[in-house]
Amino acid sequence: SSTKLLIKGGTVVNAHHQEVADVYVEDGIIVAVKPDLKVSDDVKVIDATGKFVMPGGIDPHTHLAMEFMGTETIDDFFSGQAAALAGGTTMHIDFVIPVNDSLIAGLETYEEKAKKSCMDYGFHMAITKFDDIVSRDMEIIVKEKGINSFKFFLAYKGSLMVNDELLLEGLKRCKSLGALAMVHAENGDAVFEGQKRMIQLGIFGPEGHALSRPPVLEGEATARAIRLAGFVNTPLYVVHVMSIDAMEEIAKARKSGQRVVGEPVVSGLVLDDSGLWDSDFTTASKYVMSPPIRASGHDKALQGALSNGVLQLVGTDHCVFNSTQKAFGIDDFRKIPNGVNGIEERMHLVWDTMVESGQISITDYVRVTSTECARIFNIYPRKGAIIAGSDADIIILNPNSSFEINARSHHSRTDTNVYEGRRGKGKVEVTIARGRVVWENNELKVVPGSGKYIEMPPFNYLFSGIDKADASYLSSLNAPVKRSKSTT
């Protein structure tokens, strides 16, 4: 479309800089960011005086229309994205699940699901098996399909879980392709054992979910994945960091210089596990996700880690089942579909919890909700920035306006909300997606099919020559070490 838009008088915030300026948008692209821009009469003007004009949120971790635990998440690529836009998120990266271990078949399924998209999206690819076909398909996925990250599940024994041998093969393949390895870090064998123990003890309710998979199992798997990624010398992205145990492993590795990214999710930052003990099953079961929401104290520690840089960006793991689906596990917590909402709430809750409380700056807010994700997945500055030439994905946030969260007014299709009743400061009043005003005056104007697939190119630096750690890795395998300029 040829819509022209001027956002006047707001404070434009990027990850490293903020200033009062106007933002002029044409054909979905930011054309100019300068104070006191003069434009013609046919331009729609939005007054942002006293408000913050920021890059739209990018959610690095969602599951829309995912088949999981015998059912399918209730938000699809339209309803989940509509909810996202109402909450100031203008792009998300969703996880493709292979079909019968086939990456290509999985991707085709997701391409079909995503046709109804009303905002931009990208994909990560889950790896559930490793053989010559998967190895070949990983190359096709990276070089031809615009995906630069692969997720390995160390939990969900019997379905998605991979063993250490597969993880190691996968890490090596990621490295050779210049792709980023991501890991769901829980020890799936120990979780399985813990679940059996709960059942033996007669604990069948939602609290058994948390009791069966304590923080130590997240810490162990995080440490193991970090060590193996270090052994292969390839970067690692740890998704949904939920515990102090996992966070401390990431802190230690980063301090030693290892390239490890830690992603907390909103539920881990702002909730504790008390809800899991609610005597009402519908209430308790809505909090069931993996890794579990932890005891009070982990939340505050994760906030601290986000503010001091040990953790770098915030996702949601938006993976929503309604109370009927959650009730599949009414007699046995192992059958409660795992997942919580958050795609609509993330921008509000991170503002209120982190900025309003003084734990991070406004520029850091932009970094952890948008820019860092764009950088990590190699789409910066097309996404994650308000500068001339970037896509016009923009939000206007009013720091003096309040939000209130409840299942009655949210835009997700689910009938519960894990943040029910929360209020706070900092409301996203306007969302602009590719130059189109899609959220204004509490009204959504979304168009199915208007969202575009964002290709994410691989990271060339990963395979530029053989470094010292490569040499020690190769020699530890008794392989002949190829010499290169950097290994003298």
The footprint of ligand URP (CB under 6 A) covers 63, 184, 289-290, 317, 319, 338-339
| Among the residue ranges 13-21, 51-59, 98-106, 354-362, the one whose residues contact Zn ion (CB under 5 A) | 13-21
State how far the Cα of 309 lies from the Cα of 291, in Å rounded to an integer. 22
Which C-beta is closer to Zn ion: that of 385 or that of 466? 385
Strands (E), 199-328: 236-238, 260-262
The residue number whose beta carbon is nearest to ligand URP equals: 338
Q: Which two tokens stand for residue 356?
A: 């309003």
State how far the Cα of 164 lies from the Cα of 288, in Å rounded to an integer. 26
- Minimum distance from CB of 186 to Zn ion (Å)? 8
Residue pair 163/228 in contact by the 8 Å Cβ criterion:
no
- Minimum distance from CB of 488 to ligand URP (Å)? 43
| Residue 317 is a binding residue for Zn ion (CB under 5 A) | yes
Residue pair 118/444 in contact by the 8 Å Cβ criterion:
no
Which C-beta is closer to ligand URP: that of 125 or that of 366? 125
- Minimum distance from CB of 1 to Zn ion (Å)? 28
Give the one entry of Zn ion, ligand URP, none that residue 378 binds, where binding means its C-beta sits below a cut-off of 5 to 8 angstroms depending on kind: none
Residue pair 120/438 in contact by the 8 Å Cβ criterion:
no
Which C-beta is closer to ligand URP: that of 268 or that of 426? 268
Which C-beta is closer to ligand URP: that of 336 or that of 360? 336
Give the one entry of Zn ion, ligand URP, none that residue 411 binds, where binding means its C-beta sits below a cut-off of 5 to 8 angstroms depending on kind: none
State how far the alpha carbon of 395 is from the alpha carbons of 234, 276, 390, 430, 441, in Å. 35, 34, 14, 6, 13
Which C-beta is closer to ligand URP: that of 184 or that of 294? 184
For the four alpha carbons of 263, 265, 271 and 277, in that order, the dihedral sign comes to negative
Which C-beta is closer to Zn ion: that of 184 or that of 348? 184
CA 152 to chain CA mean position, Å: 15
The number of beta carbons lying within 10 Å of the beta carbon of residue 1 is: 9
State how far the Cα of 118 lies from the Cα of 438, in Å rounded to an integer. 9
Query: Can you tell me which of 173, 184, 334, 348 binds Zn ion, judged by CB under 5 A?
Result: 184
| Residue 318 is a binding residue for Zn ion (CB under 5 A) | no
Give the one entry of ligand URP, Zn ion, none that residue 302 binds, where binding means its C-beta sits below a cut-off of 5 to 8 angstroms depending on kind: none
Q: Side chain identity at 166, as an amino acid letter?
A: L
- Minimum distance from CB of 289 to ligand URP (Å)? 4
- Minimum distance from CB of 373 to ligand URP (Å)? 16
DSSP class of residue 411 equals: S
State the residues that interact with Zn ion by CB under 5 A.
Answer: 19, 184, 317
